[in-house]
Chain A
Amino acid sequence: MASGVKPRVKVPKSAEAGEVVTIKTLISHKMESGQRKDKDGNVIPRSIINRFTCDFNGQNVVDVELFSAISTNPYFEFEATIPEAGDMKFTWYDDDGSVYEESKSIKVG
């Protein structure tokens, strides 16, 4: 597992039904591109977050594939319409097989 990985999410605690809210997510991660070499000239193997998803009440709403040109600590911000109260589940998939999860509840009204 890559060191110092910590997912974080900013979601409003409550919203009006049908309101569009802004959701911010960030995961601290080195995002080693696989293009760099160490002092001895050996390629440092790629180690990045390769997929990010967001589910609302079990239904997938965002699914992103990431590649090696994405910078360290990838940040995603998106808008979402909140039809009803529920849970948002965020998942990041690491090259090394690790999966990082975070979830937030949104109340309506």
Chain B
Amino acid sequence: MKFKALTAAAALLIAMPVMSLAEPDDDHLVINGDLEIVTKTAAPAHMEETGIDTIMSGWHFRADETQQLEMDDFDNPGMIFVDQAIDSWNAVEGSAGKSCASCHDDPSSMEGVRAVYPKWNEAAGEVRTIAMQVNDCRTTRMGAEAWKYDGGDMASMEALISVQSRGMPVNVAIDGPVKAVWDQGKELYYTRTGQLDLSCASCHEQNYGNMIRADHLSQGQINGFPTYRLKNAKLNTVHARFKGCIRDTRAETYKPGSDEFVALELYVASRGNGLSVEGPSVRN
């Protein structure tokens, strides 16, 4: 009997660290020693019915070593892509003989942009993501070819734009003209898909902090995108991540840049209203 009790105690000891690993920690994220990032805050009013009262950046769900990579820009592999994007920012392309810099001067003119996108574009009469806006600039103003929606060039440019707003609170509008799209996004968030019959909410609302096989479930916040993932050693866009998640439910996915994903991005972004813009972040 005594032996059994000891075994049970040992099993508990082994089990406990595994459980605590999956739960979010209470660390503080400060980048370069001076930029305070809000990674935990009160949930926005529209999330009242979800039962989540504190929203958390995915940063809290990662191991200490991964978290540290984001605390210094030299260590953050995502910053390599930011540097590459500065080169394409200044590169003249297309029939109009223009670069991004021709109209927008320095990338710092993009300060605040990442915090409010996706956003209603009055002239176009649609909700636009940063990537749509970049490609609109490229095709109509520069006369250049559009970039692949979730390709490397686009991810790097999004990282450069995101870095200008780092530390600013995400503040995506959910009312007015975007309401219909936001509702569509919310609908998609709660729609179960695939053979596994999972919705976004199944994992990221009802089970964040638990393990899904070998990985930790976060709240699925997108304030840190584009994200450098250690598993594929490159920047990953929001839509590529959505596609990956839906594929993992064993469903046919929507296409990156599709109306469905734009709506979903707007809704998921609004669930992070109040968190700091963090991209490019580092995750595993």
Query: Across the interface, do A24 and B77 meet the contact criterion of CB distance under 8 Å?
Result: no
A72-B233 CB under 8 A given contacts A8-B74, A24-B75, A26-B74:
yes
3 tightest Cβ-Cβ pairs between the two chains A and B: A10-B74, A28-B80, A72-B233
Contacting pair B83 A73 (CB below 8 A): no
- Which listed residue (B75, B80, B84, B233) contacts A71, Cβ 8 A? B233
State the majority secondary structure of interface residues on A.
Answer: strand
In the complex, per-residue mask of B230-241: 1 if CB is within 8 Å of any chain A CB, else 0: 000100000000
Q: What separation, in Å, do the CA atoms of A10 and B79 have in the docked complex?
A: 14
Q: Which residues of B contact A (CB under 8 A)?
A: 74-75, 77, 80, 83-84, 233
* B74 x A6 contact (CB < 8 A): no
- In the complex the two chains form, what is the Cα distance from A103 to B17 in whole Å? 45
Is A97 an interface residue when CB atoms closer than 8 A count as contact?
A: no
A: which residues have CB within 8 A of B? 4, 6, 8, 10, 24, 26, 28, 71-73
Please give the distance in Å from A71's CB to the nearest CB on chain B.
Answer: 7
A73 contacts B77, CB within 8 Å?
yes
CB-defined contacts of B75 to chain A, threshold 8 Å: 24
CA distance A73 to B83 in the complex (A): 13
Bound form: Cα–Cα A10–B83 in Å = 15
A26 to B77, CA, bound (A): 9
Q: How far is the CB of B155 from chain A (nearest CB, A)?
A: 14
15 CB-based A-B contacts, threshold 8 Å: A4-B84, A6-B80, A6-B83, A8-B74, A10-B74, A24-B74, A24-B75, A26-B74, A28-B80, A28-B83, A28-B84, A71-B233, A72-B233, A73-B77, A73-B80
Tell me the bound Cα distance from A71 to B77 in angstroms: 12
CB of B255 to closest CB in A, whole Å = 22
